[in-house]
Amino acid sequence: MTKIVDARVIVTCPGRNFVTLKLVTDDGLTGVGDATLNGRELAVASYLTEHVVPTLLGRDATRIEDTWQYLYKGAYWRRGPVTMSAIAAVDTALWDIAGKRAGLPVHQLLGGRSRDGVTVYGHANGADADELLTEVGRFLDEGYRAVRVQCGVPGLEKVYGVSSAAIYEPADAAVPSESVWSTEAYLDHVPEVFRRIRAEFGPGPKLLHDVHHRLTPIEAARLGKSLEPYALTWMEDPVPAELQEGFRLIRQHTTTPVAVGEVFNTIWDCEQLIREQLIDYVRATVVHAGGITHLRRIFDLAALHHVRSGSHGATDLSPVCMSAALQLDISIPNFGLQEYMPHSAETDAVFPHAYHYEGGYLHPGNEPGLGVDIDEELAAKYPYRPASLPVNRLQDGTLHSW
Ligand code: KDG
Ligand code: MG
């Protein structure tokens, strides 16, 4: 038995907000877990501080599964992003400690490497198709094999995923900013953008597109059909996924592969999607889906049904989450793709990490544990700043999914 003797919840804003849990054991090991929930950071920090930390002190750090069950079943109130992000942070930190105790990277505890590197996709975007083509070319020159493509839509001032900023950051104001959306303008524009990309770069690059939950199933079916000639690797979040059956309708109409899951927090959010093979990629990730323990459960179920992983990796997931996600990516049999958007230099300095990018792949490194830490002294220099995700309205003012 090795006891947890300290548990610190660290909130820091090196360019954007992150919540990190750091656990310390009586034999001097430390472990870190990401608990960042974009725009709702303090809710998870408070859940951890008030309700979780008091139950951790004195607990056996080697009992990872039991601790997960204790926090999940013991709360009585199951699921939900706040609870599951808090559980994820504890679970991730315990895996980190287990790896350090064994002197092995966590992927060695998960069965070892199933591949040599983790194929990642980058984000190319442009205000118009010309700008976008230049960006796609830049990613391909940097060695990326897969590129997510987002383009401005004529007549719409702001479109999800399109920005001139070097670092992706949608949480742009303390009180949510608002943008205006037209499904008609969007559906009219997107196929031509992909036609131009394939005409310029040929069939080689894997192309992805994020719809960001904005369509109905029949609209998504139409989009998928119109994109079939351009052979996308996936169409992401075509519809909000609360209604899992909604995906059946999309499936009946198009062979464009479907990816979904960045807002999922348990296996129950995707159980039907996976079991009925209504999707091709499940994009849940460590921090929001209950940690390494629970995400591996999701990926194992997915493997039975020909569904691959496609973990979320936006910049609002800290390098701690990325380090943990890479341990799973490199080891599971049904890996698909990993999203990768480099963090700012300030964030990288607060979270020194062993993973690195090379020629289209991320490599988790071979450090014991997760291969990541938080510099607490530096983190303290960046106090929390309120920041919210935007909301989206139709042209007549109706609130729509963002
Ligand atoms: O916090 C929300 C972002 O992580 C999300 O908008 C990013 O859709 C996203 C993606 O695919 O990375
Ligand atoms: Mg997305």
User: At a CB cut-off of 8 Å and minimum separation 6, what does 29 contact?
Assistant: 2, 61, 97, 100, 101
Q: What is the CATH number of the domain that holds 234?
A: 3.20.20.120
| 150 and 125 Cβ atoms separated by less than 8 Å | yes
| Percent of the chain whose predicted confidence (pLDDT) is above 70 | 100
Percent of the chain residues past pLDDT 90, beyond the cut? 97
Split into its structural domains, the chain has a count of: 2
316 lines ligand 1 (CB under 6 A): yes
Gyration radius of the chain over CA positions? 21
- Looking at the fold, whether 322 and 217 belong to one and the same domain comes out as yes
Residues 86 and 171 in one domain: no
Question: Within a domain: residue 63?
Answer: yes
Residues 220 and 358 in one domain: yes
> Does 80 map to a domain?
yes
What are the residues whose beta carbons fall under 8 Å from the beta carbon of 313, sequence distance 6 or more? 120, 285, 321, 322, 325, 338, 339, 340, 341
b or e along 128-152 (b: 16 or more beta carbons within 10 Å of the residue's beta carbon)?
ebeebbebbeebbeeebbbbbbbbb
pLDDT-derived band at 208, boundaries 50, 70, 90? very high
Shortest-distance atom of ligand 1 to CA 341: 12
Cβ–ligand 1 distance for 311 under 6 Å, the answer: no
Please report the pLDDT score of residue 166 as a whole number.
79
Q: Degrees (nearest 5) of the Cα angle 21, 22, 23?
A: 120
Q: Each residue of 75-122: pLDDT tens digit?
A: 999 999 999 999 999 999 999 999 999 999 999 999 999 999 999 999
Confidence of residue 138 (pLDDT cuts 50, 70, 90): very high
What is the per-residue pLDDT for 168? 86
Classify residue 328: in a domain, yes or no: yes
List the CATH number of the domain containing 55: 3.30.390.10
Ligand 1 probe mutation, 169, 211, 212, 262, most atoms within 8 A of CB: 262
Q: What is the pLDDT of residue 40?
A: 98
321-345 pLDDT, tens digit per residue, is 999 999 999 999 999 999 999 999 9
285 with 158, same domain: the answer is yes
In a domain, 400, yes or no: no
Both 101 and 127 in one domain: the answer is no
**Rounded-to-5 percentages of helix, strand, coil across the chain:** 40, 20, 45
Clarify whether residues 220 and 344 are in a common domain.
yes
Q: Are residues 166 and 143 in the same domain?
A: yes
Q: Are 253 and 224 in contact (CB under 8 A)?
A: yes
Whether 356 and 363 have beta carbons less than 8 Å apart is answered as yes
pLDDT digits (tens, 9 = 90+) for 156-189: 998 999 988 878 889 999 999 999 999 999 999 9
Nearest atom in ligand 1 to 148's CA? 11
- 286/174 same-domain check: yes
**Residue with the nearest Cα to atom 2 of ligand 1?**
38
Tell me, yes or no, whether 59 and 148 share the same domain: no
Q: Under a CB-based contact definition with an 8 Å cutoff, are residues 152 and 127 in contact?
A: yes
What does the angle CA 316 – CA 197 – CA 116 come to, to the nearest 5 degrees? 55
CA 187, CA 203: separation in Å to the nearest integer? 22
Judge if 142 and 266 occupy the same domain.
Answer: yes
**38 ligand 1 Cβ < 6 A:** yes
In a domain, 156, yes or no: yes
Q: What is the pLDDT of residue 164?
A: 82
Query: Could you tell me if residue 372 is inside a domain?
Result: no
Q: How far apart are the first and last CA of the chain?
A: 47
- In this predicted structure, the answer to whether residue 1 has a pLDDT above a threshold of 90 is no
Same domain, 262 and 319: yes
- Write out the residue range of the structural domain in which residue 89 sits: 4-107
What is the set of active-site residues?
Answer: 160, 212
Confidence of residue 127 (pLDDT cuts 50, 70, 90): very high
Over range 259-271, report the average pLDDT: 98
Of 107, 141, 164, the one marking the end of a domain is: 107
**Residue type at 365 in one-letter notation:** G
Torsion angle (degrees, nearest 10) of CA 320, 322, 328, 334? 160
Q: What's the pLDDT band for 20 if we cut at 50, 70, 90?
A: very high
What was the pLDDT predicted at 165? 83
Tell me if 41 CB under 6 Å of ligand 1: no
In this predicted model, what pLDDT tens digit does every residue of 352-399 receive, in sequence order? Answer: 999 999 999 999 999 999 999 999 999 999 999 999 999 999 999 999
Domain assignment present for 390? no
Among 19-33, 152-166, 289-303, where is mean pLDDT lowest? 152-166
Decide if 388 is inside a domain.
no
One domain for residues 144 and 71? no
Average pLDDT over all residues of the chain: 97
